[in-house]
Structure 1
Amino acid sequence: MPETSPTVLVVEDNAADRRLFEEAATETGFPTLDFATTTMEAITFFPTRCPSADECDGPELPDLLLLDLDIPGEGGMALLEELKTSSVPLRRVPVIILSSEDDQATIDKAYDLGANAYLTKPTDYDTYLELVEEIRDFWLARIERPSYK
């Protein structure tokens, strides 16, 4: 892991799914999590203006965004599209779709809009725990993060 703890934003409106992810994250030593439950709430975790990495106005960017597609407001696809068509720092935030939707058209659309990965939510806790460990190990411990802070 890098010297500073990575920041992870989980956008999930289902309280049971948030609790499940938080329990699995705690059990696997995942970094501190922030949660948003709507598109509008998620947007508050991103700078309002970000022409360059050194000129962002607002909060620091999360190191990883875990995004459910079925969220109140404009929905996860709209949030994904907004981030991936924004200024360079915002575009560089890795976005993992974590959804119960598993139809190919939805998966293809998410990748077309710039998702870095698409994962279907497991239905049992042991598999969910394994998935959270894999996310932690790959996306937060092994990859080189872009410069956007």
Structure 2
Amino acid sequence: MNKILFVTNLLMGSVLSRFAISKLTGWEISVKAFIEMAEPLGIDPTFFRVSTGVFISVAVLGYLATAIFSLTKNKPSIFNIPFTKWATLTNLFGLLTMLGALTAEFSLRVNPKWMLVYIAIGIVVLSTTNIFILNKQKQITKNEAL
């Protein structure tokens, strides 16, 4: 199961890193997209783009940290949070971030970019799967302790 956590978290962190970079560095395609999406909200597109980039960057760092720590034999605590709880929170944060991205894609864009929709759905599915795996591991650990 640790290999599955490693591969899925590494994959999600790697894929999302491209989107975090594009938003934080102001790639033209990202700037244009956020001008379109900010208009219905009446907010500054640059603020919207950069804040979205920060959220995605936090998810990337969480996914990559989870991937790295999933390989260690004795699961460390990260910021005094047990590994299972950390990994669950990371995957939940990524899942919620992608649900927000899907909401924005369908409610704020004139025409949704289907490739972005598919990527977000894939991350939602993988994060949900990881949460189930982590909860199963937690239950096994509790049963062994009894």
The verdict on a shared fold, with TM-score over 0.5 as the criterion, is no
Q: Determine which structure has the larger helix proportion and give its number.
A: 2
Per the normalisation by structure 2, the TM-score is: 0.28
Structure with the greater alpha carbon radius of gyration: 2
Q: Determine which structure has the larger strand proportion and give its number.
A: 1
